[in-house]
Structure 1
Amino acid sequence: MLLDYKNDYEKISMGLLSFIPDLKDVARLKDEMEWYQNKENHKLYLWKSEETQDIIAVIGVESANDMILLRRISINPSFRNEGISYSISEALERQFPQKKIMGTLETAPLVAKWEQEKSKKNEQQELSADGNSED
């Protein structure tokens, strides 16, 4: 579940962001947090696991007229390779249905993989819908 960042989540957000190599330095990490908090079109979101109810990921986005730029994503290592990034991308798409999700140099491969998976799912749904209509 996608949650809006609140100051109550500062420590967990900083902990999750510190998994990103260029944010290991505390001063750099604090600058990053302030950057998201001080700009209206920049926002942090947290991801809460529906199974464990723990906050297991943080994302940083920048919003523009017709797009959402996924700037940062950091997932607790214990939950990686479970499709969390796809779930987060889908939630972002639901939250901003009129905007295209884009990635930075670091996040673009993740966004591209999510879009490929989304296309595959749509094709499979169309094929099964076509198969059901012939009955």
Structure 2
Amino acid sequence: MLVRYRPDYKKIALGLLSYVPGLRNMQHLDAEFSWYDATPKRELLLWRDNDGHFTAIVGVEHVYGVLLLRHISITPALRDSDLMFTVLDALQAYHADKMIMGTIAGQKIINAWRRHNEQRTPN
């Protein structure tokens, strides 16, 4: 289940975002949080599993009528599972009125998710 980021989740969010290349440094992480806080058009969402543990984080920006995926980070133990696709499915349901796109770096993830969904959906 996706949960909106709240300040009391900051340690968890910091830990999950620290898995993103380039965000391992505390100064970069703080700058990233400031960037997300600067406008309501940006949001961080955490994924809570059925046991209540946070295992993923998604950073998005609402631009030009689409939802732009800025970050997706999953705990290392779950990276080989389909959790990324599950999180993106939940993100699409959470923002059903928006099309999800990726940044230049993140578009590969979005394309893989779309292919995955096409394979699951019978014609």
TM exceeds 0.5? yes
Over aligned residue pairs, what C-alpha RMSD do you find?
1.1
Question: Which structure is higher in RCO with an 8 Å CA cutoff and minimum separation 6?
Answer: 2
Q: Distance in 2 between matches of 1:66 and 1:96?
A: 11
* Unmatched 5+ stretches in structure 2: none
Over the matched positions of the two proteins, sequence identity in percent amounts to 33
- Describe the SS at the equivalent of 1:44: strand
- What secondary structure sits across from 1:60 in the alignment? strand
Which structure is higher in helix share? 1
The aligned counterpart of 2:45 is: 45
Instruction: Please tell me whether residue 14 in structure 1 is matched to residue 14 in structure 2.
Output: yes
TM-fit CA distance, 1:54: 0.4
SS in structure 2 opposite 1:46?
A: strand
Partner residue, 1:62: 61
Q: Specify the code of the residue in structure 1 equivalent to 2:6.
A: K
Instruction: Give the Cα separation in 2 of the matches to 1:53 and 1:6.
Output: 16
Alignment of 1:1-135 (within 5 A): 1-50=1-50, 52-122=51-121, 124=122, 126=123
Over 2 Å off, 4+ runs = none
Q: SS of 2:101's equivalent?
A: strand
- The CA distance in 2 between the partners of 1:37 and 1:91, in whole Å, is 22
Which has the larger Rg?
Answer: 1
- TM-score, normalising length from structure 2? 0.94
